[in-house]
Structure 1
């Protein structure tokens, strides 16, 4: 049910969600490629400011749509301005650094962008309401994003010819979009829920037009797993601690259907790590994954092939030393799923 591009066959792999602390692109690329043998990622460094943040970076990928920062946040504008130029410059800097540290690399490589529904819930139209309130604007945004992503993927492949590129769409706002809990620009009301079929069709059309396997990441509760599967994703990335038993069957059906699961189990901040046993026991951090796997009745030897390990969310809020440690812990936890699946 994917777009014809299944998730790469990776055994005992780990990766990062996307963001890292700091402002040094070369250091971030070195961290990503040095820690992650099987699935390094293009780092994002939001500490640099507007245009390097999640929304601004992806707004910079849009084709024939432009956005700038206002006191209220990001807003569409008629022409590219300083924020767009800054987003392009920082993305180029990040790609240059990644290219430097992937000379001769052959294998899977992940890049990230914000998905259409989270962008629509985050960027205001020129008159001040969020794009999510206008179905036509949502369609235009998705089409512009699709074209921008096609160009971005082509650029990555040109720079790193040996890469098997995986695209991650970040959709932390998707559950709120479907539940009708996204606040209006004024903050006093909530926008009407988007029909689930429309949300699915929008994602399906975008995914179908991309020449790469697509993962959707959301670190919010109630990730709409069946909707994402029908839309054609090759993988689903989520904060494993937020799963409820009601979602067990959905997750099981996704695994049976060939969807890769990227389980966020490693704490994403120093404070969370201090309250977790993951640092001293990486294998223990995936015990919940093993337990669910047994409950669903899947063969233990498939666990390390169908589940990848990630931090629970992006690492922008971590210290540089812990960010490196979190990626290392993810690698050790992923290997434990292969070595000790039961």
Structure 2
């Protein structure tokens, strides 16, 4: 059976908005609901702030230029503490809303290379510029994720199948040497694939070590899906429009079932209202055309295939976010 889920972010800018969005996700996504992210609440609730909330071994604060390591373990600023407080609040609400829930569940966290390309060192410039700093951040993230999964097991006791989606939109830029330096006049050196795979693997291994499924999501062009898969990802979440030829080959290999237990989630539902919304049949037909190009029968793909909205659902209206999730579910049912 083809199924559906969401990428993670939703519209909303306060605690009431979070509860409403979480209720929407739990109601609209029976196959695989997820913990909602609301970037509209501020930088502390954005993708990077959310991930840094899990990192307790390093000192972190917020500067005008963005998130920064303080260089002193445990010496975190008020904004980092607020990020952790927001996450704790969200988990409290989630625990309340999932009383009696029985099924699969998904959470999201920014990956080590997206953090390294975003967070600064104590004296400026990105963590990406320092081999030791990026290793420390990746390992601290892995430990934070390990603890996060254990807590989720306790809070959502009915989630027999738990998925952790590692968001890596920055990975392609890191590997291609496209991340700008602090001056803006240069680019950081390219990170070689073995190191990129190793650091990502630490986080994915931490997920798997707690009995959860590690997935990786990226809506950035040129994301090396073969490297991601080799690092230990058991699921790949992509916007179909940005996947290159090599990526399509990787997705086809998964859907053919060469290695059991892997899944592919394709972003095909518009994340914002296009004015003339597609029907569920039209969304399903687009997926069918893609499978036909790959030479795959939908019945072969089966439950290894998911339908999701594309990136950017946080920029939608609450009404469209609900419609987009409903379209994803209905298209998945049509494919089945």
TM-score (norm 2): 0.92
Q: Does 1:25 align with 2:21?
A: no
> Which of the residues 54, 57, 67 maps onto 1:61?
54
> Which of the residues 120, 124, 140 maps onto 2:120?
124
**How do 1:107-186 and structure 2 match up within 5 A?**
107-163=103-159, 164-186=161-183
Q: What SS does the aligned partner of 1:209 have?
A: helix
How many angstroms does 1:64 deviate by?
Answer: 1.2
Structure 1 residues 113-171: Cα deviation after superposition (integer angstroms, max 9, x where no partner): 00000000000001101001111111111110011011111111101111121000000
2:3–2:306 Cα contact (<8 Å) kept: yes
Q: What SS does the aligned partner of 2:141 have?
A: helix
State the distance in 1 between where 2:134 and 2:48 align: 15
1:29–1:94 Cα contact (<8 Å) kept: no
How many angstroms does 1:216 deviate by?
Answer: 0.5
Q: What SS does the aligned partner of 1:189 have?
A: coil
> Which of the residues 2, 8, 15 maps onto 1:12?
2
Q: What SS does the aligned partner of 1:51 have?
A: helix
Q: Does 1:197 align with 2:187?
A: no
Structure 1 residues 38-59: Cα deviation after superposition (integer angstroms, max 9, x where no partner): 1000001111112111111111
**How do 1:40-119 and structure 2 match up within 5 A?**
40-77=33-70, 78=72, 79-119=75-115
Aligned partner of 2:234 in structure 1 is 234
Aligned partner of 1:6 in structure 2 is none
Could you say what the CA RMSD is over the residues aligned between the two structures, in angstroms? 1.5
Q: Structure 1 regions of 5+ residues with no counterpart?
A: 1-10
Q: Does 1:331 align with 2:329?
A: yes
State the distance in 1 between where 2:202 and 2:61 align: 27
1:25–1:93 Cα contact (<8 Å) kept: no
State the distance in 2 between where 1:16 and 1:243 align: 18
How many angstroms does 1:246 deviate by?
Answer: 4.5
Q: Structure 2 regions of 5+ residues with no counterpart?
A: none
Structure 1 residues 251-279: Cα deviation after superposition (integer angstroms, max 9, x where no partner): 22233334311100111112xx22x6xx3
Structure 1 residues 190-222: Cα deviation after superposition (integer angstroms, max 9, x where no partner): 101100111112222322232211110001111
1:60–1:66 Cα contact (<8 Å) kept: no
How many angstroms does 1:111 deviate by?
Answer: 0.3
The total of aligned residue pairs comes to 323
State the distance in 2 between where 1:80 and 1:67 align: 5
Q: What SS does the aligned partner of 1:123 have?
A: coil
How many angstroms does 1:241 deviate by?
Answer: 1.2
> Which of the residues 271, 287, 304 maps onto 1:268?
271
TM-score (norm 1): 0.90
Aligned partner of 1:7 in structure 2 is none
State the distance in 2 between where 1:171 and 1:231 align: 13
